[in-house]
Amino acid sequence: MCGGIKRTNLKTIDMTAKAKAKELVDKMKSKMYSDGDYDAKQCALICVNEINDELDNFSNDDGYQFSRVEFYTEVKQEIEKLKQ
């Protein structure tokens, strides 16, 4: 779990990086005591970094791992673009 969010199925496969970025920030913001977008973005970035770190620990030749790392790298970029 990251920030109180339970891991769900692979629904992110059909989601754009921009939509996933917004979803992560919104989920983090809803769990925070403050109303700070900056803090929610930082929590979401930590989550994405942890996901990519974990994906780096696995070796998979079917391209799935690479596509997930690529996707979450895009998610990270979209989170960074979100207005504070």
pLDDT of 63: 76
Q: State how far the Cα of 64 lies from the Cα of 78, in Å rounded to an integer.
A: 21
Cβ 14 vs Cβ 61: under 8 Å: no
Q: State how far the Cα of 63 lies from the Cα of 44, in Å rounded to an integer.
A: 25
pTM above 0.85, yes or no: no
What is the tens place of the pLDDT at every residue in 9-67?
A: 444 456 899 999 999 988 888 877 776 778 888 889 999 998 988 888 877 666 777 88
